[in-house]
């Protein structure tokens, strides 16, 4: 007589006295056991976001060792089996960008050679995103990085508020570009008293679409600062003047190209009324803060009595904390996509909004094969 094939848990949970929710709970845990979450950072400050995400998921951070050898090389060791599993690598980008990129590449390749089923990179702030256009005889470094990540073994990326949405086209695999605006909008409504008397400000015409999105959702007015002293990204040479003009070059006699007039910035002006109101400047990245400080001075001159800055990625490089502390800016609100605890100690005006909730939900949905549409509710092309 052939032996019966026993199915695990079936006989136990088919018992009439078995709690109904217990089988569902164990089944859910069994489904979740098919993924692992790792942090690719070698510095403790950069692993805080990864710990928050795993706490929300009810999972443990994967066992791995990431460190720099004495000769400067990066070494990664995976300390547990990942065969046939979905693996999520959480990589926050500290000031040492290039080291973080190498850590991510080496860990992805290590997981690939360890037979992981899918390797998903969770990169809240995508590095080199400002270098997504050709500059003179430079290169589009963001596209190069996308190719390197694919070659290392990544099959999917979760990121947040890419500097240019077109960057998604550089990748040969899916990219989920999440938005931090719901968390920043919630902060405005809950933490800024009398926010109904505020006006959303774009510090340049380039940021007007983002500012308009905030203004329409909060039912507030919109103002745009026009005529910045420095050149914007669109005004820089992008290589279209190549080859360079040479004085002794002889042109074809019948070739007469129309003359392109040079741009001239108008005097700095504010389009919109900010007098007696709270000014809220919104942007995706706050790095070198000179332009934000200059915008705050202009808004103060126009009568704004409080000035807030809201941004997704708080890089806050160089002397940013000192400049913010000495400026007329009242508060700078950023998310924790980039570690900035040191800057917060230097400047109490810097506040942090936690976005680990949306990242953990994205991880859960991708692993379970659920739709990501819920995370993009009411998100338009301009957002």
Clarify whether residues 72 and 117 are in a common domain.
yes
On whether the CB atoms of residues 281 and 203 are closer than 8 A, the answer is yes
Clarify whether residues 61 and 164 are in a common domain.
yes
Q: What is the pLDDT of the chain when averaged over all its residues?
A: 86
Percent of the chain with pLDDT over 90: 71
Per-residue pLDDT for 5 more than 50? no
Is residue 167 helix, strand or coil? helix
88: nearest Cα among 107, 72, 73: 107
Clarify whether residues 294 and 208 are in a common domain.
yes
Per-residue pLDDT for 25 more than 50? no
- Binned at pLDDT 50, 70 and 90, residue 10 comes out as very low
Give the per-residue pLDDT at 29: 42
Per-residue pLDDT for 13 more than 50? no
Question: CB count, 10 Å around CB of 47?
Answer: 19
Give the CATH number, domain containing residue 55: 3.40.50.2020
Domains: count for the chain: 2
Tabulate helix, strand, coil % of the chain (nearest 5): 35, 20, 45
Clarify whether residues 48 and 148 are in a common domain.
yes
| 144: in domain | yes
Per-residue pLDDT for 321 more than 70? yes
- Taking the C-alpha atoms of residue 33 and residue 21, their distance in angstroms, rounded to an integer, is 18
Give the per-residue pLDDT at 246: 52
Give the per-residue pLDDT at 233: 52
The DSSP 8-state label assigned to residue 219 in this structure reads T
Clarify whether residues 158 and 288 are in a common domain.
no
Per-residue pLDDT for 190 more than 70? yes
155-182 tens-digit pLDDT: 999 999 999 999 999 999 999 999 999 9
Name the domain boundary from 178, 198, 218: 178
User: Which tokens in the block code for residue 156?
Assistant: 């999917």
Give the per-residue pLDDT at 244: 53
Which residue range forms the structural domain that includes residue 123?
36-178
Give the per-residue pLDDT at 17: 44
Per-residue pLDDT for 94 more than 50? yes
| 305: in domain | yes
Per-residue pLDDT for 14 more than 60? no
Clarify whether residues 188 and 172 are in a common domain.
no
Give the per-residue pLDDT at 27: 40
Clarify whether residues 75 and 204 are in a common domain.
no
207-260 tens-digit pLDDT: 999 999 999 999 999 999 988 554 445 545 555 555 555 555 555 556 677 877
Question: CB count, 10 Å around CB of 196?
Answer: 11
| 151: in domain | yes
Clarify whether residues 187 and 169 are in a common domain.
no
Per-residue pLDDT for 327 more than 60? yes
Cα maximum dimension of the chain: 99
pTM for the model stands at 0.83
Give the per-residue pLDDT at 379: 81
């Amino acid at each position: 007589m052939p032996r019966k094939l026993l199915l695990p848990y079936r006989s136990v949970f088919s018992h009439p006295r078995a709690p109904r929710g217990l089988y569902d709970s164990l089944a859910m845990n069994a489904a979740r056991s098919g993924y692992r979450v790792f942090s690719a950072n070698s510095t403790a400050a950069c692993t805080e976001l990864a710990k928050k995400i795993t706490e929300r998921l009810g999972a443990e951070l994967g066992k791995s060792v990431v460190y720099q050898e004495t000769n400067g090389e990066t070494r990664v060791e995976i300390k547990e089996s990942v065969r046939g599993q979905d693996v999520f690598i959480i990589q926050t980008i500290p000031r040492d960008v290039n080291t973080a990129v190498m850590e991510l590449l080496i860990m992805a390749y290590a997981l690939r050679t360890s037979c992981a089923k899918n390797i998903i990179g969770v990169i809240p702030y995508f590095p080199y995103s400002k270098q997504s256009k050709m500059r003179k005889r430079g290169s589009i470094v963001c596209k190069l990085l996308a190719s390197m990540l694919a070659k290392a073994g990544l099959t999917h990326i979760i990121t947040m508020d890419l500097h240019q949405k077109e960057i998604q086209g550089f990748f040969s695999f899916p990219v989920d570009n999440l938005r931090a605006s719901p968390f920043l909008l919630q902060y405005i409504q809950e933490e800024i008293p009398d926010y109904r008397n505020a006006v959303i400000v774009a510090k340049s015409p380039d940021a007007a679409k983002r500012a308009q999105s905030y203004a329409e959702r909060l039912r507030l007015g919109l103002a745009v600062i026009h005529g910045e002293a420095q050149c914007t990204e669109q005004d820089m040479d992008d290589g279209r003047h190549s080859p360079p003009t040479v004085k002794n070059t002889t042109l074809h006699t019948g070739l007469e190209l129309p003359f392109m007039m040079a741009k001239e910035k108008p005097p700095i002006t504010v389009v919109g009324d900010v007098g007696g109101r709270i000014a809220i400047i919104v942007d995706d990245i706050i790095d070198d803060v000179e332009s934000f400080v200059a915008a705050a001075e202009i808004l103060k001159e126009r009568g704004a009595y409080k000035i807030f800055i809201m941004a997704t990625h708080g890089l806050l490089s160089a002397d940013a904390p000192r400049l913010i502390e000495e400026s007329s800016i009242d508060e700078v609100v950023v998310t924790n996509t980039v570690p900035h605890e040191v800057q917060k100690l230097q400047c109490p005006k810097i506040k942090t909004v936690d976005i680990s909730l949306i990242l953990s939900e994205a991880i859960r949905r991708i692993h379970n094969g659920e739709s990501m549409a819920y995370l993009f509710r009411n998100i338009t092309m301009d957002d």
